[in-house]
Copies of this chain bind each other. A is one copy, B any other.
Amino acid sequence: MTRQPQPVLTIPQLHEFLERDFPQVAEDFIVTEIGPMRLCLRLVPGDRHLRPGGTVSGPAMFALADCAVYLAIIAHVGEEALAVTTSASFDFMRKPEAGRDLDAEVTLLKLGRGLVVGDAALRNDGSDALVARATLTYSRPRE
């Protein structure tokens, strides 16, 4: 069995980190769960996240997935503001439902010293239908 890395930060610590380092987006997101190699982040959509018809836009889904995987990394390795997104791939399955929150359920697939790979499944709050699935890779700074 692979030993699972454990989170080293709590949900309140992650919210503090967001407010301090990413004040421009901190109010959009709520960390709802955290666990070994896992984290769930909720987007509470404001007008700027919506397309006509009231569905969450592509760029807002990108922001949600990117923030969610980034927070999952921070939660496991501590604050490391220099990790950078090197790639992101998205599959869009169905339109998000209008007027509902969007949840990203992150699984860290690899937590290496050089590269971290995370998977984010996006679903509307309370639904099990996949809206989108994203995989993001981050490069950690070399010591």
Which positions in A face B, CB cutoff 8 Å? Answer: 1-2, 24, 48, 51-52, 57-60, 62-63, 66, 84-95, 109-110, 114-115, 117, 119, 127-130, 133, 135, 137, 139, 142
Contact = CB atoms under 8 A, between A and B. Distances in A.
Contact of A89 (B84, B85, B90, B95): B90
Contacts of A93: 109-110, 117
Given A2-B127, A133-B135, 20 more contacts: A2-B128, A2-B129, A58-B63, A58-B85, A59-B63, A59-B66, A62-B62, A84-B95, A85-B92, A86-B137, A87-B89, A87-B91, A87-B92, A88-B88, A88-B89, A91-B109, A91-B137, A109-B133, A117-B133, A135-B135
Contacts of A51: 24
